[in-house]
Amino acid sequence: MEKEHLQRKLGARQIQMIALGGAIGVGLFMGSGATIAWTGPSVILAYLVAGMFLYLIMRALGEMLYIQPNSGSFAHFASNYLGKPYGYLTAWSNVFEYLIVGMSEIIAVGEYMKFWWPDLPAYIPGIIAIVTLGLANLISVKFFGELEFWFSFIKVFTIILMIIAGFGLIFFGFGNGGEAIGFSNLWSHGGFFTGGVKGFFFALSIVVSSYQGIELLGMTAGEAENPQSTITKAIKSTVGRILVFYVGAIFVIVTVYPWNELTTLGSPFVQIFSKIGITFAAGLINFVVLTAALSGCNSGIFSSSRMLYSMSLRGEMPKAFSKLTAHGVPLFPVVTMSVGILVGFVLNELLPLVLPNVSNLFIVVYSSSVLPGMIPWIVILLSQIKFREQHQDLMADHPFKMPFSPYSNYITLGFLMIVLIFMLINPETRISLLVGIIFLILVRMDYYRRFERR
| pLDDT tens for each residue of 166-192 | 899 899 988 788 889 999 999 998 889
Phi-psi region of 69 (alpha: psi -120 to 50; beta: other; left: phi over 0): beta
Phi-psi region of 121 (alpha: psi -120 to 50; beta: other; left: phi over 0): beta
Tens of pLDDT, residues 109-132 = 887 888 899 898 888 999 999 999
pLDDT mean over 151-171: 87
Tens of pLDDT, residues 255-283 = 988 888 876 666 677 777 777 777 777 78
Q: What is the pLDDT of residue 31?
A: 46
* Model confidence band, residue 360 (pLDDT cutoffs 50, 70, 90): very low
pLDDT mean over 351-370: 62
Mean pLDDT check: name the lowest of 6-15, 44-53, 212-221, 333-342.
Answer: 6-15
What pTM was estimated for this model as a whole? 0.84
* Model confidence band, residue 357 (pLDDT cutoffs 50, 70, 90): low
**Of 414, 410, 406, 412, residue with least CA distance to 388:** 406
The H-or-E segment that residue 443 falls in is helix 427-447
Amino acid identity of residue 47, one-letter, is Y
SS3 of residue 324 by DSSP? strand
Residue 137, pLDDT above cutoff 80: yes
Q: What is the pLDDT of residue 2?
A: 44
What percent of the chain lies above the pLDDT cut of 70?
A: 85
Residue 288, pLDDT above cutoff 90: no
Q: What is the pLDDT of residue 171?
A: 92
Rounded to whole angstroms, the Cα distance separating 444 from 153 reads 39
pLDDT mean over 125-150: 86
Tens of pLDDT, residues 30-62 = 546 668 888 899 999 999 999 899 999 989 998
Q: What is the pLDDT of residue 156?
A: 83
Provide the residue ranges of all domains of the chain, joining segments of one domain with +.
Answer: 2-452
What percent of the chain lies above the pLDDT cut of 90?
A: 30
Q: What is the pLDDT of residue 343?
A: 86
Q: What is the pLDDT of residue 273?
A: 79
Could you tell me the end-to-end alpha-carbon distance of the chain, in angstroms, rounded to an integer? 27
Residue 12, pLDDT above cutoff 80: no
- Mean pLDDT estimate for the chain: 83
Q: What is the pLDDT of residue 297?
A: 86
Q: What share of the chain is helix, strand, coil (3-state, %, to 5)?
A: 80, 0, 20
**Of 362, 382, 367, 345, residue with least CA distance to 430:** 367
Cα distances from 380 to residues 79, 86, 309, in angstroms, run 11, 11, 19
Quick check: 423 and 205 in contact, CB under 8 A?
Answer: yes
Reported residue count of the chain is 454
Fold observed for domain 2-452: Amino acid/polyamine transporter I (1.20.1740)
Tens of pLDDT, residues 304-327 = 898 899 889 888 999 999 988 888
pLDDT mean over 334-338: 94
Tens of pLDDT, residues 216-231 = 766 665 556 677 777 7
Quick check: 99 and 107 in contact, CB under 8 A?
Answer: no
- HEC states along 177-231? CCCCCCCHHHCCCCCCCCCHHHHHHHHHHHHHHHCCCCCHHHHCHHHECCHHHHH
Amino acid identity of residue 394, one-letter, is L
Task: Report which DSSP code applies to 279.
Answer: T
Q: What is the pLDDT of residue 317?
A: 92
* Model confidence band, residue 4 (pLDDT cutoffs 50, 70, 90): very low
Q: What is the pLDDT of residue 259?
A: 87
Q: What is the pLDDT of residue 421?
A: 93
Looking only at Cα atoms, what is the longest distance across the chain?
75
